[in-house]
């Protein structure tokens, strides 16, 4: 198998997981930096909005490496979409396909269900709850918890931080409740 074909294949968890995990000691060794993505929005706002808001008054340049990290995520996603995509439809487990058909979700041509996430559905109650209210709750929860899932679950737990354990348990519990109790109600709207 050629290198390009190998890169295009999904990587197993025992390769991808340790590579993600190794970012923690690498960041700590290289500059005592912490891993997390949600703080980059604060850095962008501090750099671009020169308002007199105390939350944004700090030296964001010290954290500019984080902005390059997030730019790399966006660039990497664009490159993967352009050059590493097979062009085949997204493979969805048959059990999930049967369950989603109950909610009139049939189009899997994108990485997210097109039947749910499109401009016309934004102006329906279901679309508003999923995209606007859901986005607000994710942003609020990230700020309230003092970080995102990657910051707490990857960086915080590896540093044995008690607040990160509590936050990660709450993220997981909220995900289970949402996926099993709240999402089915919203999808039936």
pLDDT of amino acid 108: 80
SS3 104: coil
- DSSP assignments along 8-42, one per residue: HSPPPHHHHHHHHHTHHHHHHHHHS----STHHHH
pLDDT of amino acid 168: 92
Distance CA 127, CA 155 (A): 33
Percent of the chain whose pLDDT exceeds 70: 99
pLDDT-based confidence at residue 51 (cuts at 50, 70, 90)? confident
Whether the pLDDT of residue 1 is over 70: the answer is no
Distance CA 145, CA 163 (A): 9
Percent of the chain whose pLDDT exceeds 90: 24
Stronger pLDDT, 88 or 148, i.e. the higher one: 148
pLDDT of amino acid 169: 94
């Amino acid at each position: 198998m050629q290198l390009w074909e190998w890169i295009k294949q999904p990587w197993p968890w025992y390769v991808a997981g340790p590579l993600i995990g190794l970012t923690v000691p690498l960041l700590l060794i290289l500059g005592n930096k912490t891993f997390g993505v949600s703080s980059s929005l604060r850095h962008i706002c501090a750099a671009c909005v020169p308002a007199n808001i105390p939350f944004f008054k700090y030296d964001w340049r010290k954290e500019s490496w984080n902005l390059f990290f997030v730019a790399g995520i966006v660039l990497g996603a664009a490159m993967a979409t352009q050059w590493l995509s097979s062009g085949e439809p997204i493979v969805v487990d048959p059990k999930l396909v049967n369950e989603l058909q109950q909610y009139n979700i049939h189009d899997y041509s994108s990485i997210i269900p097109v039947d749910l996430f499109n401009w016309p559905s934004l102006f329906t109650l279901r679309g508003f709850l999923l995209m606007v209210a859901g986005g607000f709750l994710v942003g609020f929860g990230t700020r309230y918890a003092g970080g995102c899932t990657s910051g707490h679950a990857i960086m915080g737990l590896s540093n044995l931080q008690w607040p990160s354990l509590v936050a990660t348990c709450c993220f997981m519990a909220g995900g289970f409740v949402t996926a099993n109790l709240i999402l089915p109600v919203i999808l039936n709207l």
